């Protein structure tokens, strides 16, 4: 998976993005107070068994939401506010013949980008006419996955590479974005989940250079350009996890003809290992020429970094896409069209700006989501 696992609420090999755990999973979906296991929600001495049927599972969803909220406290995380700005339909129109009591439960993980995407999903569904339950800020990928698999949540934004490796237990991701999406789509149908069309945004690894150094480094614009630089200029700032991952620095350097520890590649003294998040500042300050980044991180723009093209398609694809409970989608097939209006607008550049507004400027994720949807005409102010 892309980053740190959480084991009973503790960060292990914690890979933090934007100050939050990025795709941080909690082993077996466990929260110290509320465990999600084998279809049961446990809290103290009471046990609530997950049940089928849409009305009955809503009750279970509410119960689990309370448990998840308690679990956040146990993990040292604070639950996100349920606040979502009021709005009215824009280009997203109410679904014709939608029942007045149509309900939809949206779930999102607990890092900045997911909170923004979750609020976008909530407002899109509201504009389409649904009464929405907002299960935001769930701590970790596995609990979100359990909510989707059990039918307690109807929709989530997920990443193709994360699903392929973390949920579906494949060892190697697929660099081609379309092929990776199709692979998870096909595999997850058997799990009762249907993937909508992916967004252009691809929250994967990349190498970035401070923009003012591009000319000094021969106009470097893609990773293969690094091999043409003198060895002394091939300096890298890395996080500890990326330094040792199977899809991290060593195989990347090999793929681009600059093998690690080789005299004509990247000598060990050219590599600096930094704490999580410090890579961005170190790269900006010139501690190295090339720093490991996530492609939708707002600090790329705030620090004026330039992302190098992965021209040999080394890094796995982590495109965001709406994922639906198949039973829900069969009941409301128009949902796919609703989110097909949103997904194409979500590019790396857009997500970097939205993430920046939260992580650097301190704005609320719900407000950031609302302002962006208004700017795109997807929704309007309340009538």
Q: What is the pLDDT of residues 201-214, one digit of tens each?
A: 999 999 999 999 99
pLDDT at 56 over 90: no
pLDDT at 78 over 50: no
Cβ neighbors of 305 (< 8 A, separation 6 or more) are 208, 209, 210, 211, 280, 283, 284, 291, 293, 299
Q: What is the pLDDT of residues 218-237, one digit of tens each?
A: 999 999 999 999 999 999 99
Nearest of 277, 207, 285, 272 to residue 237 by alpha carbon = 272
- The pLDDT of residue 244 is 87
- The pLDDT of residue 275 is 86
Please state the pTM of the whole predicted model: 0.76
Q: What is the pLDDT of residues 349-368, one digit of tens each?
A: 999 999 999 999 999 999 99
């Amino acid at each position: 998976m892309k980053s740190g696992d959480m084991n009973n609420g503790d960060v292990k090999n914690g890979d933090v993005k934007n100050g939050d755990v990025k795709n941080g999973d909690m082993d077996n979906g466990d929260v110290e107070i509320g465990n999600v296991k084998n279809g049961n929600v446990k809290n103290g001495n009471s046990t609530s068994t997950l049940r089928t049927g849409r009305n009955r599972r809503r009750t279970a969803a509410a119960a689990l939401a309370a448990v998840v909220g308690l679990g956040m406290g146990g993990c040292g995380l604070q639950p996100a506010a349920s606040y979502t700005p009021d709005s009215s339909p824009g280009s997203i129109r109410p679904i014709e013949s939608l029942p007045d009591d149509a309900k939809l439960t949206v779930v999102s993980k607990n890092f900045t980008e997911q909170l923004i995407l979750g609020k976008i999903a909530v407002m899109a569904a509201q504009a389409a006419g649904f009464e929405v339950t907002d299960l935001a800020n769930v701590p970790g990928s596995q609990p979100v996955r359990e909510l989707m698999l059990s039918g307690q949540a109807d929709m989530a934004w997920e990443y193709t590479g994360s699903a392929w490796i973390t949920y579906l237990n494949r060892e190697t991701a697929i660099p081609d974005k379309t092929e990776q999406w199709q692979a998870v789509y096909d595999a997850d149908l058997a799990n009762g989940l249907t993937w909508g069309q992916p967004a252009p945004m691809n929250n994967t690894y990349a190498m970035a250079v401070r923009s003012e150094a591009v000319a000094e480094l021969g106009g470097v614009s893609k990773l293969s350009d690094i091999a043409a630089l003198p060895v002394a200029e091939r300096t890298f700032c890395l996080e500890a996890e990326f330094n040792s991952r199977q899809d991290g620095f060593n195989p990347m350097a090999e793929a681009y003809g600059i093998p690690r520890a080789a005299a004509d590649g990247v000598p060990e003294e050219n590599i600096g290992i930094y704490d999580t998040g410090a890579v961005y500042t170190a790269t900006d300050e010139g501690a190295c020429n090339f720093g490991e980044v996530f492609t939708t991180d707002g600090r790329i723009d705030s620090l004026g970094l330039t992302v190098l093209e992965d021209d040999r398609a080394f890094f796995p694809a982590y495109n965001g896409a709406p994922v639906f409970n198949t039973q829900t989608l069969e009941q409301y097939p128009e949902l796919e069209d609703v989110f097909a209006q949103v997904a194409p607008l979500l590019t790396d550049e857009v997500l970097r700006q939205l993430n920046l507004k939260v992580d650097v400027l301190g704005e609320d994720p719900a407000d950031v989501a609302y302002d962006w949807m208004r700017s795109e005409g997807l929704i309007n102010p309340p009538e």
